[in-house]
Amino acid sequence: MTQLKLRKIVTYTEDVHSEGGRPVEPAARTAVVLAVIENPWAGQGFVSDLLPGIDAVAPRLGELLAPRVVAALGAPVEAYGKAAVVGLDGEVEHGSGLIHTLKFGDHFRQAAEATTLLPAVEKRAGAGTVFDIPLKHITDATIRSHHQTVEARVPDGPRADEIVIGLAAAAQGRPQARLAPLASEK
């Protein structure tokens, strides 16, 4: 039976105190939590039915990562996103299968008291690849100030037979955001 095989968890936060030469008060905080796991389909060749692996791994990942990213943020979540970076011996579909299921995403949605879909990035790449996790507002994806990205990287992951799964959160919109609301363009 497939199970979650976790190698490590990487957590980091960023606090922006100045943007465009002006102070940001309070500082704009983002948090990212990344789990490096063994790809549950590694070494099996093409697997036509991913559902057993998704059912075994995705809920546990959601349970593990959602409270960690909320705790790392240390403030109410206003924007959020998710990511999957699959090692070179896997398929993008392996990462997509794990993050594009309510069995994973609902843990974060509930922890953040959110109602919108989680924006995502998924790709296949080697260890140390930099990737951007898109963020959107937790209850209204049209709020432009909260459309932002958080850069992430695991220096030694994913290995060829691994997947990096991540969640990101922001306590606010972009620092110094000043675009007009989407409805103003009608």
**Which pLDDT value is given to residue 131?**
97
Residue with tokens 């209850």: 139
Task: Give the whole-number percent of the chain exceeding pLDDT 70.
Answer: 96
- Digit-coded pLDDT (tens) for 102-153: 999 999 999 999 999 999 999 999 999 999 999 999 999 999 999 999 999 9
The packing angle between helices 92-99 and 51-73, to 10°, is 60
SS3 31: strand
Residue 45 counted as domain residue: yes
Confidence of residue 43 (pLDDT cuts 50, 70, 90): confident
Residue 71's CATH number: 3.30.1330.110
Q: 7 in a domain, yes or no?
A: no
pTM for this structure?
A: 0.94
Indicate whether 47 belongs to any domain. yes
**Domain total in the chain:** 1
1 part of a folded domain: no
pLDDT at 180: 74
- 144 located within any domain: yes
Domain of 106?
A: 13-129+137-148+161-178
